[in-house]
Amino acid sequence: MKFYNREKELNYLKTYCQLEPNSILFVYGPKSSGKSTVMRRVIKELEDSNIVFFYYNLRKYATYSKEEFLRVFFEKSDKKYLLNKLELNLGVCKFGIEENFDFKNLCLNDVFAKINESINAVIEDGKKPVLIIDELQKLKNIYFNGNKSLLNELFNLFVSLTKMEHLCHVICLTSDTLFIDEIYRNSTLKNASKYYLIDWLRKGSIRNILKEEGFSEEEINYCLKYLSLPYEIVDLIENKKLGLSVEQTIKQWINVEADGLKYLLKSNKDRKENLLKVLSKFDDKIKVSIDNFEDEIFDDVKFLIENEILFYDVINGIIKPTSIIEWYAIREVLK
């Protein structure tokens, strides 16, 4: 997919990677807002620098057990760090581990010792290590010996690597904002974390992209009322080539999202009334403060966030639909 203008986000993340490590950075945003695309672009643009990126995209893996986690994060080799064979186009690395290590009998302290060895090997080579984990929340239900939560112990390691020892940047990407909410309220991470929102595309950027792609002024003005995400622009361009007008494409999107929402409501009849109360908050506004949701419907707010109908901007205390198209779908269902 073509990379669309995200200069502000690129500059922030590129600069961040080159500063001294001092905190864990959580990059969050609505689904499909371009978090992974921007991060991969950062890696590409810094590939000739002295930074070594350890990058793990957990979307690619079924990381639901200790053994699967170890196979994803480690590669058996005589090197402390080596190129990730599944991400060769990016030139990113994995942690190295000796050939004779038995993943089944590896304890958590061994795991962390090996991560530290790899990071220190990068530093000894005169380079800067940066660890990036995409969709980190997939590690939530993995436990090691003594029922230790892998994720909780990883956070302790990350605090040590960043805030305490200043050895390595740790950047975690997620669209799961209920997970971000847990992190934000975690006292262990309170003074050791930063948060960066990659949100909807800005209207000016959308206008410039569509103009560059040959859309008329009338088409652009129509699209600006509905578009918010990068993939929508790609679909719009493809559909135009296939002979569909922008109006046809956008109406199809709204219908699909509205049908999905109607199905969700029908499948949850016991909470349908409360779900409609939540959705009604968006009848005439696209952003609503979290304070405007009554306690008795807050579980239903969380349900709609979990089902990616709504997005929770934890840091700013705002809840909104995951996209502008989703907002129009909500309004359609409320008619």
- Asked if 83 contacts 47 with a C-beta cutoff of 8 angstroms, the reply is no
266, pLDDT greater than 50: yes
Mean pLDDT in residue range 79-94: 90
Question: How many degrees, rounded to 5, is the angle at CA 32 between CA 232 and CA 293?
Answer: 105
Read off the pLDDT band of 63 (50, 70, 90): low
Would you state the pLDDT for residue 103? 74
Mean pLDDT in residue range 326-330: 98
Mean pLDDT in residue range 50-61: 91
For the chain, list the domains and their CATH numbers.
Answer: 7-197 (3.40.50.300), 203-334 (1.10.10.10)
101, pLDDT greater than 90: no
Would you state the pLDDT for residue 276? 98
Would you state the pLDDT for residue 3? 63
62, pLDDT greater than 80: no
Task: Please give the model's pTM, rounded to 2 decimal places.
Answer: 0.93
Beta-carbon count within 10 A of 298 CB:
13
Would you state the pLDDT for residue 25? 97
Which tokens belong to 229?
Answer: 């995400």
Mean pLDDT in residue range 250-266: 98
